[in-house]
Structures are given as structure tokens and as C-alpha cells.
Structure 1
Amino acid sequence: MTQALTSDAVGAPRSLRAVWPAMVGLSAVFLVEMLDNTLLNVALPTIGRDLRASTTQLQWVTGSYTVVFGGLMLFFGAVADRFGRRRVMFVGLGLLAVASFGTLFVRTADELIVVRLVMGTAAAMTAPGSMALSFRLFDQDALRMRASAVISSVGLVGVAVGPTVAGLLLAVTPWQVLLVVNAPVAVLAAIGIRAGIPADTAEDLHRDPIDVPGAVLGTLTIALALVAPTLFVQIGAGSRLAWACAAGAVVSAGCFVLRERAARHPLVDLRLVARPLVASGLAYQSALGLATAGLTYTVTLQLQLAWGWSPALAAVGMFPLVITMIVIGPFVDRIVDGLGAGRSTTLGATAVVAGLAIYGLLGRSGYGWIAVALVLVSAGMRVVMITSAVNVLRGLPPERTSLGAALSDTAQEVSNAIGVAVSGTVLAAIFVGDIASPHWTNAQVSQFQNAVTIAILALAAVAAALVIAAPLRARASRASTAATSEA
């Protein structure tokens, strides 16, 4: 199997400290990605009043960013592998800074949506590159995982404290400040990356022409796959538009696969995706997306609507999720060193599925069980998120690392949307009445809990199937390769 980088690479750094400017820059990139919608959600009521925005417009203020971000990652991952990962990163950071300053001139909700579309495009340019560049800095998997843990921990700390800081800022500053702050962070990221990461050489890139039809079909597939779940949750399972989007995603995905099989220079070489490390890593990432999205969506509703907790108290109730991920981050490389990457990933994925099952079966019995579920899912997710992402990149040729990072991020984005859609659709089918009503009857509380149990156990079953299939796929491929070699 082709490895992304050889273990005897000349001049590869032997510690994170040796490349601290790069680590600062890449951490800043990830921080912006994690904070963007988090900070904006806090400001949505203020934005709605200031811009006189409708409910639909407010939904698209955040939704437009997510759809463009997820839809364009594969394309920009392929572009970065051809024209330079650092170069595309700089363009994305520049676009992000300009769009952030553009917020100061927004006067209507539609103008803000346009700004968010541009920011989503910038994020699609920077996200694959941040993972690919951190991976390519080192020639040892232990350092790659440690770097990933540090970079992601910065983002998680931002998520933990970001909403509180945003609330305090809104009390004394206009809401635009929450988006303009991206500009200096983007500048910091660019300075760190320029100082700490060399430009790609010609040997690091590949010169195949970009598969434009494949890029269009891939972008359309992912965009529809992200929009359809949102429509199912917002409009309901009876919506023709939601089903049309879902059908469009399936048809577009089929056309994309046919195109990639026939293309001389495909955007995504399906033979590379079928490689054991890549296929298993993407399966694990998809399982994570289903589990975490379904869990966080339903727990938030349960605490506030079924149990009557205030929004502030409900936010505190979700702390075990973020705190566990922050605490366990520095120990991921030790876990991998002790158990090996394969066993660590399997153990982490098993913890995610177990946490999901515990919440589905026992979450209605008290917050203690919810806390246990949150800790298990977040601990397992932290391990798998790092090991599986590194495995995807390890399984690809050196000139395809940005595309691998884009595949990994896209798998999580789409599975996140599906997890929320499954939970929301089951809830809409079982719950009778207005779910936003402040006073539920005992029958409605029971309906809600039954819906949560069905939805979460269904997601746990699918996640378990993915977790079981991933190592089996890897073993079958290794056995086939060994048999071929012996023959």
C-alpha cells in the first residue's frame, strides 16, 4: 500500500515545539471553523431584530454556510492537491478576512446570507488543508496524532467558552463584532503557516486535469444531502420538497459514481476510497457523525422541553461532552501507543455506540444516565476522530492528502445532517401537538421519550454496523492482498 509519507523523510521535525508557528497557525484555522456557527447562533435573536429578518432568513444565515462549506470541500480538496495546499489555504484565509470585514456593511438579512456564503466557501478552502498540512509536517504517526489532538483541543476550548464570551460581547458591542473577529484570527493563521510550513514542491502535487462534471455532481450531491435533512426536520416528513431533495441527492450520487468510474481523471478515484485504511476511516467518521448529531440534538430538546430546564442550565448539562473531549485529548497518543491504532479505534467506536445505546434505553430515567452517555460518546469520539482521520490520509498517495481530508470532513458533515434528520423525523411522526409549547402534557412527555428511544437506538444500530464493517473490510482486503502475494 502506498503510504502518504515515508518514515525516513529528511528533515522531518521530531516534536511539536519544533514547528510551533505552524501549530499556532493551523490551530487558529480550526478555531475559526469550530466557532463560526457557534458564535453566530448566540447572536441570531439580535440579528433578527436588527435586520428585521424572517425565520426562514435566519435559518439560512447559518444554513447557507453549512451547505456551501460541505458541498465545496471535495472540490477544493482536489484543487489544493493540484495547485498547492498552502497556496489554497492562503487564498481561503484572505477570502475569510475580506468577508468578515464585509459584515460591517451588511444592512439586510439577504446581504448577510451572501456574506455567509462567501465565508462558507472560504472555510471549504481552508478545512481540508488544515488537516493535510498538519499531517504532512511529520513522518511519525504518533506526532501526527498528537498534532491533531492539540489543534482540535484549541477548537474545543473555543466551543466551550465561545458562547459565554459571545453573550458578554453582545451586551456591549454590535453583533457584527462576532464575525469581524474572524479577520485578525485569519491573519494570525496566515502568519503562522507562512513561517512554519514550506510551500509544496512539484513532487508533492499531481497535475491531472480537474474533473469538472464530477465536481459539479459531487457538490450537488452533498448540498442536496445537507439540505434534505434540514427540510425533513423543519417542514416535516410529509413535505414534497424534502422528499424531492432526498431523491435528487440519491440520483445525483448515482450519477457521480458513474462519472467517476468512467472518467479518465476522476475527481475522486473510487479505487483509492476502497483502500482498507481509507474505507474503514470513513466508516468510523460516518458512525461518529450519526451518533454525536443525534445525541446532542435530542439531549438538548429533552433537557429544555421535556424536563423544563432553562437554556443556560441545559448548556451546563451538555458540558460533559466538551470537557471530556478536552481532557482526553492529550492522552490519545498514549492510548494508541499502548493498544495500537486499530484496537484504539475499535475501542473508541465501541464506547460511542455504547453511550448512544445507554442514552436511548436509560436517558429518561435521570440526568446521571445522560451524563454517562455524554462522557462515553465524547471520549470515544475524541479517540476515533483523530485515529481514523490520520488513517484516511495514511491510506492515500502523498499527492492526494487534501482530498483525503475533504473526504473525512464530508463524511462527518453528511452523517451529522442525517443523524439530526432521523431524530427530528421520528419525533415529528410520534409527537402530537406543538413541540415548542412551554407546557407539555404527561402524554406528550411520554411520546417524546418514546420517539427519542426509537431514533437513538436506530442510529446506534447503524453506527454499530459501520463500526463492525470497518475492521472487517480492512481484514478482508489484507487477506486478499496476502493471498495474491503468495500466489
Structure 2
Amino acid sequence: MAGIDGRRQAALVLLCAAVFLDSMDLSLMGVALPAIQRDLSLSAGTLQWLVSGYAVAYGGFLLLGGRMADLFGRRRVFLLSLGVFAAASLAGGLLSEGWPLVVTRVVKGVAAALTAPAALSLITTTFSEGPGRNRALGIYSLAGATGYSAGLVASGLLTEVSWRLVFFLPVPIALLVVAAAPMVLPKGPPRTGSTGGFDAAGAVTATGGVLLLVYALTETNWPAGLVALLLLGAFVVVERRQPDPLIPLEVFRSRTLSAANGAALAWACATIGWQFVAVLYLQRILGYDALATGLGIVPMGLAIVVTANLAGRLVGRWGLGRVAALGMLVQACGILLFLRAGASGDYLTVLLPALVVHGVGNGLSFPSLNIAAVGGLPDDRQGLASGLITSSVQIGAGVGVALLAATMTVGGSGPDGYRLAFLVAGAFSLLGAALAYLGIRTPGADRQPARSGV
């Protein structure tokens, strides 16, 4: 038994390393962009797509990635996609042209979209539902949050030497995980009978719809948004008629799964959108340089680390809905504390308390939402559940950043624009708290039954 436990722990470390990489890559680009633009003489549009190309591909292919993990094997999809992620990172560091560089970012986004649901579903099928799984998911969520914070700090440090190091950094970590994973990751049960067909029509309409939706939000392109809505409507029609759909619509009968995904979308609108605004505030209003900005956010990351370690115990004592709602309320308080900041906000008395409170709320809410989202479906649908929750977060991130950027424009370029954006982010967090409190129940209470023959 000790050997089995040790192998599970090793598997958890490797899977967390993968989500750490995916999250870190979201923030690594931000600080390096001016140096890349200067060295390669890139246009503003090309520069923007170094960030949005990754996000669009990540958000658009997540649901497809979850289904592929269920159909073709979680370990196989995890290893192949992580290998592609490493190759695209290496190519990006060697290129010196704008659009080929953007292509590597898009490829990395697709690879991350396949890696994330495969990794999360490997955790949920390796650890049985209960305290063990809750703790594993808490550590997994912590790795994602830590990766984002680490990316901000590492970007500042590496860009001081060369922006190419930002691309090279993920390569050795990814290759180490690929080399070690076959020794510790479970192969999964042998497949008997039919696994069902591959829903090509559902894959095209869902992936195309989400891709265009994120693109429309990023570029404020309303015709693309209309086409996205038409594709998503067509997806619903297709799924109702498919014998083996990409997303069986009956899974949304689970009140907990639906509430967890809705709250996760609101969570990402609030926290990712707020972080986008807060970083700009530190640099444009307070005059922080890139390295100082990254280091200034470190206390928030530490608060997330400490609190996420406690989240599993609190879930066992108070329940998922209450812990998730409490976390989002605390997160809202941290966001709204930034309203005290003006043109010369003091770090120790104004910014630091807001960052720490926000981090505490993050550490409580995000693990709870992940646990709730995967607790309503059986093992044969864990790839689907993982893809849904990760997709909710990524789409929420796109919506939050787009809306808060527009809000800042309406409010003006001074501190008032940032204050208005902080208010909107706080409102999203309060909405997520209400969804979590009213909708999330004990895992398994409304669980969907496993399908036969899969």
C-alpha cells in the first residue's frame, strides 16, 4: 500500500508540473512583450496575438481535449500534447519573425488545451472521491495559481537577460515530465467494447464557436461574435441528435456541475480580469517596472499557497458550497480594497493588504470549484468534466479581460478608470459567490450514472 501511495504522489507531482507550465505560460509573455517588439520590429497587432493566440487556442480546444482524453486514453493524450508543447516552446525561442512566432503560441495553446483536461481527469481517476481527492485537487489548483504568479516574476527576471529565455524556460520542465510520466502514470483500464463514435460535427461547432467567441471578445469584433453564437446554437442542436455526443447535454442536469461551472466562469472574470487591470495600474499609474510588478504580486501568490493547503480541510468541515462562496466573498473584498488606491497608492498600507486578502479568497474558492465540478460525473466522464471546468475558467478569463479593458476605456486613463474596472471585477466575484452558495451541493448527490459499454 505504501508503494501505491508513493506512486500516486509521484503521479500528482508530474501532473501538477504540467498545469504549472500551462498557467505560467499565460503570464510569461506579459513582461517580455516590449523587448520582443523592440528586437523584432513587430506591429502592435502581431504583438497582441503573442498573448491572445495562446488564449484563443487554449479556450477553444478545451472541450475537444477533454473528449479526446476519454476516447483515446488520458495518459497517451497527456504525453503527446506535452511533447508538442515543449517542441513549440523551443521553436518559439529560435524564431526571429513575427507571425511564425505567433504560430508557435497558437500551437502551444492547442497543446495546453489537450494537456489540462487529461491531467485533471488522471487525478480524479487516480484518487478516489473523498478527502484524498479533495487534497489532490487542492494541490493541483495550487500548482496552477502558483504557476501564474511564478510566470510574472520569472518573466521580469529572464527578460533582463534575453526575452528568448521566456520561450526556452518551459522546455526542460516539460521534457522531464514526459520522460518520467510513463513510469508513474496509470495506463487506465483496458478498453472493452465500443467507446462510441467521435462527434466530428459537435467538435467543429463547439471548437469553432468558442474560438470565435474568444476572438470576438479579444478584438471587439461583433460579426465574429454573431457567428460564434450561431455555431454554439448549432452545437446544441447537433448534440441533441448525436448518439455519442461531444458533450452529453444531460450532464447539466447535475445542479452542482452547472453551478460550479457558472461560478468558475464568474471567478475567472473577476480574478483574471482584475489581475490584468492591477498589473497595468502598477506600471502605468504607480510607475513600477516589470520586475517590481512581478515581485509586488508575490505576497498574493504566497497567500494562495497557504490557503489552498487549508481548503480541503475546510471543505470537509463546512461543505463545498459554503467554502467556495466564502472564498469568492473574500476575493471580492480584496478586489474592492483596491478602490482605496489612487495616483500614489502606498504599497504597505494599501496594496499589500488587498493582495493578501485577494490571495486568501483565491486559495479557498478555486480548489472548491474544481472539486465540485468533477464530483458530479463518473470516472468514464472525468475528461469531459475536466474539460468543462477548465474551459469555463479560460472563457471567463477572456470575457473578464475584455470587459474590464472596455470599462477602463469608459472611465478614462487616470485612476478613475481603474476604480471602475475594480468595481466590475468585484461584482463578478459576488455573482460567483451567489452561484456557489445556492447551487453547489455534496459531491455525488446528483451524480450522473456511468454509461454502459464505455
TM range (shorter): 0.7 to 0.9
1:291 pairs with 2:279: no
1:354 pairs with 2:342: no
- How far apart are residue 289 of structure 1 and its match? 0.5
The two structures have a TM-score, normalised by structure 2, of 0.88
The two structures have a TM-score, normalised by structure 1, of 0.82
User: Which of 403-412 and 31-40 deviates more?
Assistant: 31-40
Q: Decide which of 428, 433, 445 is 1:467's aligned counterpart.
A: 433
Q: Is the 1:101–1:183 contact (alpha carbons within 8 Å) kept by the matching residues of 2? A: yes
- How far apart are residue 29 of structure 1 and its match? 0.7
CA distance in 2, matches of 1:480, 1:188: 40
- How far apart are residue 415 of structure 1 and its match? 1.1
Structure 1 unaligned regions, length at least 5: 1-10, 233-241, 436-444, 482-487
1:217 corresponds to: 205
Kindly provide the amino acid, as one letter, of the partner of residue 76 in structure 1. G
Kindly provide the amino acid, as one letter, of the partner of residue 67 in structure 2. A
* Structural mapping, 1:335-374, within 5 Å: 335-360=314-339, 362-364=340-342, 366-367=345-346, 368-374=349-355
- How far apart are residue 73 of structure 1 and its match? 0.9
1:301 pairs with 2:280: yes
Q: Is the 1:78–1:402 contact (alpha carbons within 8 Å) kept by the matching residues of 2? A: yes
1:237 corresponds to: none
Cα 1:13–1:230 shift into 2, 3 Å: farther
* Structural mapping, 1:37-436, within 5 Å: 37-103=26-92, 105-172=94-161, 174-202=162-190, 207-232=195-220, 242-360=221-339, 362-364=340-342, 366-367=345-346, 368-431=349-412, 435=413
Residue deviations 1:267-302 (CA, integer Å, cap 9, x gap): 111210231221121122112111102321222233
Kindly provide the amino acid, as one letter, of the partner of residue 57 in structure 2. V
Kindly provide the amino acid, as one letter, of the partner of residue 68 in structure 1. A
2:451 corresponds to: none
Q: Is the 2:124–2:379 contact (alpha carbons within 8 Å) kept by the matching residues of 1? A: no
CA distance in 1, matches of 2:86, 2:338: 41
- How far apart are residue 60 of structure 1 and its match? 1.1
Cα 1:274–1:351 shift into 2, 3 Å: farther
- How far apart are residue 370 of structure 1 and its match? 4.2
Residue deviations 1:83-117 (CA, integer Å, cap 9, x gap): 11111111102212322332355231111112222
CA distance in 1, matches of 2:295, 2:169: 25
CA distance in 2, matches of 1:139, 1:114: 39
Equivalent pairs counted in the alignment come to 444
Residue deviations 1:38-71 (CA, integer Å, cap 9, x gap): 2233332332233332221111122211111110
* Percent of aligned pairs sharing the same letter: 28
CA distance in 2, matches of 1:138, 1:196: 14
Cα 1:346–1:113 shift into 2, 3 Å: same
Kindly provide the amino acid, as one letter, of the partner of residue 336 in structure 1. V
CA distance in 2, matches of 1:169, 1:377: 27
CA distance in 2, matches of 1:274, 1:96: 35
CA distance in 2, matches of 1:114, 1:383: 36
Q: Is the 1:22–1:192 contact (alpha carbons within 8 Å) kept by the matching residues of 2? A: no
CA distance in 2, matches of 1:309, 1:337: 41
CA distance in 2, matches of 1:44, 1:326: 28
- How far apart are residue 37 of structure 1 and its match? 3.5
Q: Is the 1:28–1:188 contact (alpha carbons within 8 Å) kept by the matching residues of 2? A: no
Structure 2 unaligned regions, length at least 5: 448-454
CA distance in 2, matches of 1:195, 1:458: 47
Residue deviations 1:363-413 (CA, integer Å, cap 9, x gap): 449554544333333222222211211221111121111111111111111
User: Which of 51-60 and 403-412 deviates more?
Assistant: 51-60
Cα 1:395–1:154 shift into 2, 3 Å: closer
Cα 1:387–1:141 shift into 2, 3 Å: farther
Q: Is the 1:23–1:192 contact (alpha carbons within 8 Å) kept by the matching residues of 2? A: no
Residue deviations 1:306-359 (CA, integer Å, cap 9, x gap): 344444444344333222112222222222233233322222122223333444
CA distance in 2, matches of 1:463, 1:253: 26
Kindly provide the amino acid, as one letter, of the partner of residue 393 in structure 1. V
CA distance in 1, matches of 2:425, 2:378: 33
Kindly provide the amino acid, as one letter, of the partner of residue 435 in structure 2. A
Q: Is the 1:96–1:123 contact (alpha carbons within 8 Å) kept by the matching residues of 2? A: yes
Q: Is the 2:255–2:439 contact (alpha carbons within 8 Å) kept by the matching residues of 1? A: yes
Q: Report SS of the residue matched to 1:265.
A: coil
Kindly provide the amino acid, as one letter, of the partner of residue 456 in structure 1. F
CA distance in 1, matches of 2:107, 2:167: 13
- How far apart are residue 134 of structure 1 and its match? 1.4
- How far apart are residue 78 of structure 1 and its match? 0.5
User: Which of 243-252 and 71-80 deviates more?
Assistant: 243-252
Residue deviations 1:125-150 (CA, integer Å, cap 9, x gap): 11111111112111142222222333
User: Which of 273-282 and 97-106 deviates more?
Assistant: 97-106
User: Which of 161-170 and 392-401 deviates more?
Assistant: 161-170
- How far apart are residue 158 of structure 1 and its match? 4.3
Q: Report SS of the residue matched to 1:207.
A: coil
The structure whose Rg is larger is 1
Cα 1:282–1:12 shift into 2, 3 Å: farther
Task: Compute the RMSD of aligned alpha carbons.
Answer: 3.0
- How far apart are residue 170 of structure 1 and its match? 4.3
Residue deviations 1:218-276 (CA, integer Å, cap 9, x gap): 112211222222223xxxxxxxxx22233233332222222222333221112102312
